[in-house]
Amino acid sequence: MKLVVLALAFPLLLAFPAVSAFELGGFQIMDGSKIEGEYLIAGFEGVISCFSQGRHVMDIIYENDSIEISIKFFDTLLERNPLLREEIKKAIMPITIKGSALTLEYDGCLIELHNTPARFLEVRADKIILSKLKYDINATDAHMIKLEGGNFSAILISNNPLSIDRNITAYGCIMLFSYSLIGGEDEKKIEDAFRNKYIGGEITIVGYDEKNETDCISYFGNISIQPIELREGKIVLKIRGENVSGGKVVKVNLGKKICLSDKIEVRFDGKEINKASSFEDVLNPNDDKIYPEYYQLQSEEGVFILISIPHFSEYEVSIAFIVENLVGNAMAISFGMLVILLAAFYMFKK
């Protein structure tokens, strides 16, 4: 009897795996210039210095779990007013936070940071120097560098050639990505897609209630993603792009609202599109002529969908999927717990 009851309980336990999900973190600003967040670029340490018109404007001092922003003009001012240091910092630091996105723009320098598992940082300035890095630095090509050390791995991309000596020097713009989503051979395919600028942007969707929590990232500045409709079972996005040469891939992070086994339907301007033959196939938006396609993947944080768009202007993309029946799940869990209790009763019955 014990074996029969345990045999009934075991498959019910397997039916409810641990929930994983894309999440949106929040920022905390301490003492006016120290920024803490759940994700940031977790594991990254070093200094990013920004220069504008030949002047050293600011430093971004990265520690493992926080960032300190040092603006040179402000520092000089604060040195003259040590008693009001923290109050002045809070009043004049030009930081803007919208949900999980933080921007800081000052004197020709721009910082954009997203506190999501995507771990994305963009810096724009005439000249950018990365120093005090404690990683293996490997140049993939003139425009892309991979940083690796311990459990940390990231790719650094610039539109202009990067130079490496003791430091890394870039001009115009850098983007730093640190993915925990893929790993292995698939991670290299993602890196190749970034090198070719095939990946245009991504949206993370957390809540479908009145808050409609989302975070949008435009990687190379020529793609925008805007949620039009978010509700249980359906997502509608407006995707715009400049008249750039070649296609782009858009990444949609769906989190715990969908399982890899769920059936989905992706429509492009109202027409259902096909699933790509492989992960590698969907990462090349220019190999299927004018036909868009999608591919669905499971990551550590949840499910995401890649949508390959071969040409750009403005499109509406909808994703419909079957949401698990919460009432049915609750009943199944209750039944499973009952079976486990019965099993325990028979096992320990004297």
Examine the domain organization and report whether 165 and 249 are in the same domain.
Answer: no
Give the pLDDT score at 119.
82
Q: Are residues 154 and 119 in the same domain?
A: yes
Query: What does pTM read for this prediction?
Result: 0.76
Q: What pLDDT does 74 receive?
A: 64
CATH of the domain at 214: 2.60.40
CB-CB neighbours of 348 under 10 Å: 7
Helices 72-80 & 85-92 angle (0-180, nearest 10): 150
- Predicted confidence (pLDDT) per residue in 288-306, tens digit: 677 899 998 877 777 889 9
Query: What is 205-267 written as a DSSP string?
Result: E---STT--EEEEESSSSEEEEEEEEETTEEEEEEEE-S-SS-EEEEEEEETT--TTS-EEEE
C-alpha closest to that of 145 among 117, 114, 178: 178
The answer on 146 and 116 residing in a single domain is: yes
Q: Are residues 54 and 175 in the same domain?
A: yes
Count of structural domains within the chain:
2
Within-domain flag for 188: no
Strand (E) or helix (H) holding 49: strand 46-52
Q: Tell me: do 171 and 210 sit in the same domain.
A: no
On whether both 164 and 207 belong to a single domain, the answer is no
pLDDT of 109 reads: 93
Give the number of other CB atoms < 10 A from CB of residue 132: 12
Q: State what percent of residues in the chain have pLDDT above 70.
A: 72
Cβ(120)–Cβ(45) below 8 Å: no
**Which residue matches tokens 């002529």?**
289
Inter-residue contact 200 to 223 (CB < 8 Å): yes
Q: Are residues 38 and 175 in the same domain?
A: yes
> Is residue 323 a part of any domain in this protein?
yes
- Is 193 part of a structural domain of the chain? no
Residues 135 and 52 in one domain: yes
Residue count of the chain, please give it.
350
Are residue 209 and residue 314 in the same domain, yes or no?
Answer: yes
121 phi, psi to nearest 5 deg: -135, 130
Q: Could you tell me if residue 24 is inside a domain?
A: no
Residue 3 domain-assigned (yes or no): no
End position of a domain, from candidates 180, 212, 243: 180
Same domain, 117 and 60: yes
| 167 lies in the same domain as 254 | no
The reply to whether 8 falls in a domain is no
Using alpha carbons, list the distances in angstroms from residue 152 to 8, 119, 141, 183.
43, 12, 20, 12
The parent domain of residue 142 ranges over: 31-180
With a CB cutoff of 8 Å and minimum separation 6, the contacts of 173 are 122, 123, 124, 128, 158, 159, 160
The tens place of each residue's pLDDT in the chain, 350 residues long, gives 433 322 333 232 233 333 346 778 888 887 767 888 888 777 788 999 999 999 999 999 998 778 888 887 666 655 555 555 555 555 566 788 888 899 999 889 999 999 888 788 999 999 999 999 988 898 988 999 988 887 778 889 998 999 998 899 999 999 998 765 445 677 778 888 888 888 889 999 887 665 668 899 988 767 889 999 888 788 899 998 876 657 889 999 886 556 555 688 999 999 999 999 888 899 988 776 778 999 988 777 778 899 998 877 889 999 997 655 444 455 555 555 555 655 555 555 55
Question: Is residue 210 domain-shared with residue 159, that is, in the same domain?
Answer: no
Query: Which among 180, 214, 234 is the end of a domain?
Result: 180
Query: Would you call 189 exposed, middle or buried from its count of C-beta atoms within 10 A (0-12, 13-18, 19+)?
Result: middle
Residue 243 covered by a domain: yes
- 312 assigned to some structural domain: yes
